[in-house]
Structure 1
Amino acid sequence: MTPAPGAGPAVVTGPDERTARRRFVTVSFLFWLPAGLTSAPMVLLLTERGLTLAAVAAVFAAHALTAAALELPTGGLSDVVGRRAVLACAGVLNACALTLIALGTTPWVLALGMALMGAGRALSSGPAEAWYVDTVHAHAGPDAEIRTGLARAGAASSAALALGMVLGGALPWTLGLGPGLGAELRTLSSDLVLPLSVPVLLGVVVEIVFVLHVLTALTEPPRPPATLRTALRGVPGAIAAGLRLGARDTLVRRILMTAGATGTAFAALELLTPGRAADLTGSAESGAVLFAGLAATGYVCSALGSRLAPLVARLAGGSERAVLTSLGASTAGLLALGATVSLDGAPALTVAATGYGLIYLGLGAAGPSENDLLHRRVDATGRATALSVQSLSLQLVGAAGGLTVGALPAGPLPWLLGAVVMLTGALLWSGREAAVPPAAAVTGNGGG
């Protein structure tokens, strides 16, 4: 950092690079652990409360629509009022949402819980990563190495999802064995607390720990005092700057298009894998067990891919070639899953597990390199907004891709579509390496 003429040496506040990386990794783990805990029992809990599958889909839509509607405004809010406050609010909203979902007995309460969770998801999209990059840049300048921190945080997030998935599936099953604690919980709470509620309530505890950690560990320089009205007035400008950045910057546009391709791949996995797992095992129940195992394995592979991201970038010769290589692996994984349609028995299971692992390994390795490039294109005034635009691209294109995949006839064609979209995302990075200016060269307020 360069002091102003005539001023003393610049005073850098906040933790050093190593401490910032450790705190960022911890925040990432704590944030995603409740999501893993609730993923396995969520649908079963909602149906246990009496919701039909159509009602469950509507409740999930409340989450998705709320998250999409608030994605850009909350990213802009983080750039205006600060990372820590917005991230702490996300944790509080998620804790309230999980409490309503765990204990709610009526559709409107459950829908409200999912909507609050969507708001929390939107609030959390970007502030922690923006805080980490801001802190490292404050100590070491805009050319500081951040890929390692992004990779370790991505690995921690995937590990949290894998651990949560296993615990979230095992706890209700353990409590439901015989006339034990699960029955006592139902009796003592007048059916308010079910065995399926326990992982969700554990998620509430983790959210409280998350909020406390955010408030104590994510220190940042004080921002100019502002009223709520003043802060909200700056949000539209931050959003407009983020959208302009995607429109005028070729590299950022490439990152956003890649996010859309990734969203389509995730949509194909979520829609097609459960049914394919049931076909391979012969029943819905055993298929659900296989799907849970595949999901946990996928998260582990994603964690491994994230940890390997710096090595992949060094071997590939740069971030852009690393993204190309990683997404190529994911494309191969989607093609492998499509090939299982013509296989049965052990060969099909082997190819399916390999393909599933390749998809997540590639996506895990690509993410840190993509965001390394993104953070070198934006500065602190628009960093969280840029991450929100990236997340919104993943969600919207993924939703459209999911609708398309769901409309295709069963067989290899839906998998082929996902592979083609992913391959297209990979080929975006096959050209000449783009020059990456310092982050300050492209500002979030529209400067260039």
Structure 2
Amino acid sequence: MTELPELPELPELREQPEPPGVRTARRRYVTVCALLWLPPGLAMASMVLLFSERGMSLAAVAGLFAAHSLTVAALELPTGGLSDVLGRRPVLAMAGALNVVAFALVGLGTTAWVLTAGMVLMSAARALASGTAEAWYVDTVQAHSGPDAELRTGLARGGSATSAALAAGLLLGGALPWLLGAGPGLGARLSEATSGAVLPLSVPVLLGAALRVVFVCYVLTVLREPPRPPATLRSVLRGVPVTVLGGLRLGGRDALVRRVLLTAAAVGSALAAIELLMPGRTVALTGATGSGALAYAALSCAGFLCGGVGSHLAPLAARVAGSGERAVLVCLGACAGGVLLLGATASTTHLLATALAVVGFCLFHLGIGAASPNENDLLHRRVPSAQRATALSVQSLALQLVGALTGLVLGTLRPGPLPWLLTGAVLLSGALLWLRRADVRSTPVTTAT
């Protein structure tokens, strides 16, 4: 009997260990996300009340926030192009420096023009930071591991850090003025010592300014970028418009990028409905404005926490669903279900209906948190590094513009199930865009310039 020749041993199919640079980049990205979003969380709870305490009417406060939104929308694309041309680290540092000044003006300002200047600077900083940290992370990981590098885990952890920072900031920003007011005249003595410049409601905003200083120092000392050609004033002025146009063309030429942008628009519609309609529902539930505002703050904090959990579960969702696209479909379907549940319970404050509304609210944020890293993982595999921040800015702009338009439309409708059901239908349409599988290639699409 002839012996069969020995077959060579097959190598074990093991996961390749991550390069140390990838783990370091992920850790730094998570830290940047937390430092970037903790100050807005701190200011969120007290800013409207601070403006009112400074003697501004509700219409004037609405005007300040309108100026903020319009400035962000106007600067989204140019600042995204600036990040692609000039680099991620200098743009993030500029955003942090502008925010130091903006938070100081808002925290200390006593006149309308000073507060307006603070809000405009804050919105410029918001536009500069939009997508820049994420673009830095993707660039760094792909520089270490190539274009097929695994991105979803880092994006998910960054989303979890963002949500956790917003939730922690909201709680701390709401608690600090209350603690200063509850103490033995601490708030009054603080106001008296600063001639009224620093109120208890100013403290969370000023703490946010101090954290922005920490953010700038961290960005300048820790973040490192893959090499890029040196930028001159002429190259920046010529490169930004070209980069912006190239980013806009991506949405028209690439079906998957277009799908991501349409999904962002649908999510913007749902977020606008949440922000516009939920405060009124909490006031109707509690029967008083003050307790309603407190209930909404607690609900918002729960929403941020659910978003963080959803982001953490994004890689698991992709594995269970079989692909990133399927995960987006399932997660956005869950979001739409949450909004429709809010619509089904909108006409009553019965205990069971209220419990179901809270479930719908949390389900919406959980689904958004899980869908976003999977969407952006797909987006980054289709967009070249030279247009990455611009593509993220286009995505953000689609969300904001459709959200603003939705707010105007919903404002003309009577409160009740109808606004929720319409918004839920829009979000469900965005989810159904992912039914048909696209060609998910990791080679970025290049656009002629």
Q: TM-score w.r.t. structure 1 length?
A: 0.94
1:181 corresponds, among 180, 186, 196, to 186
Distance 1:229 1:289, change over 3 A: same
Aligned to 1:353: 358
Q: Does 1:196 align with 2:198?
A: no
User: What's the secondary structure of 2:367's corresponding residue?
Assistant: helix
Aligned to 1:262: 267
Aligned to 1:3: none
User: What's the secondary structure of 1:25's corresponding residue?
Assistant: helix
Structure 2 Cα separation of the partners of residues 192 and 186 of structure 1: 7
1:178, CA displacement in angstroms? 5.1
Q: Does 1:211 align with 2:216?
A: yes
Structure 2 Cα separation of the partners of residues 446 and 227 of structure 1: 22
Superposed CA deviations along residues 25-77 of structure 1, whole A, max 9, x for unmatched, are 00001100001000010100011111111100111111111111110000001
Superposed CA deviations along residues 199-249 of structure 1, whole A, max 9, x for unmatched, are 001101111111111111210134322322321210000000000000111
User: What's the secondary structure of 1:130's corresponding residue?
Assistant: helix
Task: State how many pairs are aligned.
Answer: 431
Structure 1 Cα separation of the partners of residues 250 and 79 of structure 2: 17
User: Do the aligned partners of 1:280 and 1:348 also contact (CA within 8 Å) in 2?
Assistant: no
Aligned to 2:439: 435
Q: Give 2:448's aligned amino acid.
A: G
Q: Does 1:139 align with 2:144?
A: yes
Aligned to 1:97: 102
Structure 1 Cα separation of the partners of residues 32 and 123 of structure 2: 19
Structure 2 Cα separation of the partners of residues 260 and 363 of structure 1: 13
User: Do the aligned partners of 1:15 and 1:219 also contact (CA within 8 Å) in 2?
Assistant: no
Superposed CA deviations along residues 160-219 of structure 1, whole A, max 9, x for unmatched, are 000000001111111111542111110000110000000001101111111111111210
User: What's the secondary structure of 1:101's corresponding residue?
Assistant: helix
Q: Does 1:446 align with 2:448?
A: yes
Q: Give 1:286's aligned amino acid.
A: S
Q: TM-score w.r.t. structure 2 length?
A: 0.94
Aligned to 2:417: 412
Q: Which moved more, 1:36-45 or 1:327-336?
A: 327-336
Superposed CA deviations along residues 306-354 of structure 1, whole A, max 9, x for unmatched, are 0000000110111111011001111111111112223324223311211
Structure 2 Cα separation of the partners of residues 446 and 322 of structure 1: 32
User: What's the secondary structure of 1:325's corresponding residue?
Assistant: helix
User: What's the secondary structure of 2:242's corresponding residue?
Assistant: helix
| Residue pairs, 1:36-51, within 5 angstroms | 36-51=41-56
Structure 2 Cα separation of the partners of residues 277 and 438 of structure 1: 45
Q: Give 2:203's aligned amino acid.
A: V
Aligned to 2:129: 124
Structure 1 Cα separation of the partners of residues 429 and 88 of structure 2: 34
Aligned to 1:164: 169
Aligned to 1:76: 81
Structure 1 residue runs of 4 or more that deviate by more than 6 Å after TM superposition:
none
User: What's the secondary structure of 2:423's corresponding residue?
Assistant: helix
User: Do the aligned partners of 1:330 and 1:363 also contact (CA within 8 Å) in 2?
Assistant: yes
Identity rate of aligned residues, in percent?
Answer: 64
Q: Give 1:77's aligned amino acid.
A: L
Q: Does 1:288 align with 2:290?
A: no
Superposed CA deviations along residues 85-124 of structure 1, whole A, max 9, x for unmatched, are 0011001111111100000001111111111011001000
Q: Does 1:87 align with 2:92?
A: yes
1:306 corresponds, among 311, 318, 325, to 311
Unaligned runs of 5+ in 2: 1-18
Structure 2 Cα separation of the partners of residues 283 and 95 of structure 1: 36
Structure 1 Cα separation of the partners of residues 442 and 280 of structure 2: 47
Structure 1 Cα separation of the partners of residues 118 and 157 of structure 2: 31
Unaligned runs of 5+ in 1: 1-13
User: Do the aligned partners of 2:29 and 2:158 also contact (CA within 8 Å) in 1?
Assistant: yes
| Residue pairs, 1:274-285, within 5 angstroms | 274-285=279-290
User: Do the aligned partners of 1:66 and 1:119 also contact (CA within 8 Å) in 2?
Assistant: yes
2:226 corresponds, among 200, 205, 221, to 221
User: Do the aligned partners of 1:375 and 1:439 also contact (CA within 8 Å) in 2?
Assistant: no
Q: Which has the larger radius of gyration?
A: 2
Structure 2 Cα separation of the partners of residues 122 and 341 of structure 1: 35
1:15, CA displacement in angstroms? 7.0
Structure 2 Cα separation of the partners of residues 15 and 123 of structure 1: 29
User: What's the secondary structure of 1:368's corresponding residue?
Assistant: helix
Q: Give 1:392's aligned amino acid.
A: L
User: Do the aligned partners of 1:15 and 1:135 also contact (CA within 8 Å) in 2?
Assistant: no
1:129, CA displacement in angstroms? 0.6
1:387, CA displacement in angstroms? 0.5
User: Do the aligned partners of 2:139 and 2:226 also contact (CA within 8 Å) in 1?
Assistant: no
Distance 1:427 1:107, change over 3 A: same
1:276, CA displacement in angstroms? 0.4
User: Do the aligned partners of 2:140 and 2:226 also contact (CA within 8 Å) in 1?
Assistant: no
User: What's the secondary structure of 1:438's corresponding residue?
Assistant: coil
User: What's the secondary structure of 1:381's corresponding residue?
Assistant: helix
Q: Give 1:30's aligned amino acid.
A: L
User: What's the secondary structure of 2:182's corresponding residue?
Assistant: coil
